[in-house]
């Protein structure tokens, strides 16, 4: 089968290679001319025979919207656009409606597998009309892992990226659980080989998973993860998952806490914890850690503990009370 592929970065480039290994013809475009097969979207479309299938694999948001809009001006009725990035599912519905006015089909595909997809295959979650899914099925079959699993036609337009969004939310929760387990094992003096504990979990346990395999690999390279800083970004899907949960009145305590843990990781000195420290100091005389003059406030650099010199406005005594 012939397909156009827009975006040839880490994911898109490996997808092009996997498709070619399966015998498909791929015409790729990227803004980086060293990666591209053609110099423009116009030429990519011109090289494909109708009915065309073009897969978009560029960053979510405005880059994707601009690319889909441009393709809508170049493609013809009967062609199909596949949006395989991490677009918000509501964007898919807007883009599909705009393309439908020109008779162009639209599929949204949540893609999982990262840099390992070239060899292991990609998990694919597809949204769109069944007849358009059938057109692209040879491509999906080539990209998915071998065997029964790794592909789903999840529903109508938007369903693919909605399923991928929830997948990423679950991923947040799983990673946070492993992370908290790692920290507790490290803190306990009774355990003297934390990496070996995680390695032992890879077989025969109920917590075994590919994420655990990757954590074991990371611990083999750096047993205490001492080369890393505990700072974690989020790419957006976790936030969208929590927002969708609010919209549907579905409680997501674990995923929400995992997202908030990432926010906390970016704070060198938490304003919220300063407020709590100040309040405990005021109502109960609890010791606080004051920042010394000239200190940066970096973690692990506390100032000298101090207590209030007189009761707070509520009459709290100048000694620790029973609460707080």
Annotated catalytic residues are: 164, 171
Residues in the chain: 324
Residues ≥6 apart with Cβ < 8 Å to 321 = 283, 284, 285, 286
Radius of gyration (Cα) for the chain, nearest Å?
A: 26
Q: How far apart are the first and last CA of the chain?
A: 66
> Sheet harboring 80-83: ordered strands across?
25-29, 2-6, 53-56, 80-83, 105-112, 123-127, 151-155
**H/E stretch holding 135:** helix 130-143
Give the span between the Cα atoms of 107 and 128, in whole angstroms.
5
Find out whether 104 and 85 touch, Cβ atoms under 8 Å.
Answer: no
Closest CA to 201 of 188, 214, 189, 190: 214
**H/E stretch holding 163:** helix 159-187
């Amino acid at each position: 089968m012939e397909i156009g592929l827009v975006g040839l970065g880490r994911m898109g480039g490996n997808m092009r290679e996997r498709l070619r290994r399966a015998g498909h013809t791929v015409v790729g475009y990227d803004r980086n001319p060293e990666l591209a097969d053609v110099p423009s979207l116009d030429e990519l479309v011109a090289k494909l025979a109708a009915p065309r299938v073009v897969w978009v694999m560029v960053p979510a948001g405005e880059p994707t919207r601009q690319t889909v809009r441009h393709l809508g001006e170049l493609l013809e009725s009967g062609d199909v656009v596949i949006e395989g990035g991490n677009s918000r599912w509501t964007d898919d519905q807007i883009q599909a409606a705009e393309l439908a006015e020109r008779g162009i089909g639209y599929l949204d595909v949540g893609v999982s597998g990262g840099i390992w997809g070239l060899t292991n295959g990609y998990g694919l979650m597809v949204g769109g009309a069944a007849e358009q899914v059938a057109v692209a099925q040879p491509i999906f079959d080539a990209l998915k892992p071998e065997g029964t699993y790794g592909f789903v036609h999840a529903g109508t337009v938007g369903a693919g990226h909605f399923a991928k969004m929830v997948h990423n939310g679950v991923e947040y929760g799983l990673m946070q659980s492993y992370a908290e387990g790692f920290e507790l094992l490290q803190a306990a003096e009774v355990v003297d080989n934390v990496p070996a504990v995680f390695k032992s979990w890879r077989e025969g346990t109920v917590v075994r998973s590919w994420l655990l395999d990757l954590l074991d690999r990371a611990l083999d390279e750096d047993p205490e993860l001492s080369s890393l800083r505990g700072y974690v970004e989020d790419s957006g899907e976790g936030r969208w998952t929590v927002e969708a949960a609010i919209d549907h009145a579905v409680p997501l305590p674990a995923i929400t806490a995992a997202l908030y843990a990432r926010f906390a990781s970016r704070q060198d000195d938490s304003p919220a914890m300063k407020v709590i420290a100040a309040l405990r100091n005021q109502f109960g005389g609890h010791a606080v850690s004051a920042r010394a003059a000239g200190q940066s406030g970096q973690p692990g650099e506390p100032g000298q503990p101090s207590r209030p010199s007189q009761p707070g406005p509520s009459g709290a005594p100048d000694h620790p009370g029973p609460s707080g």
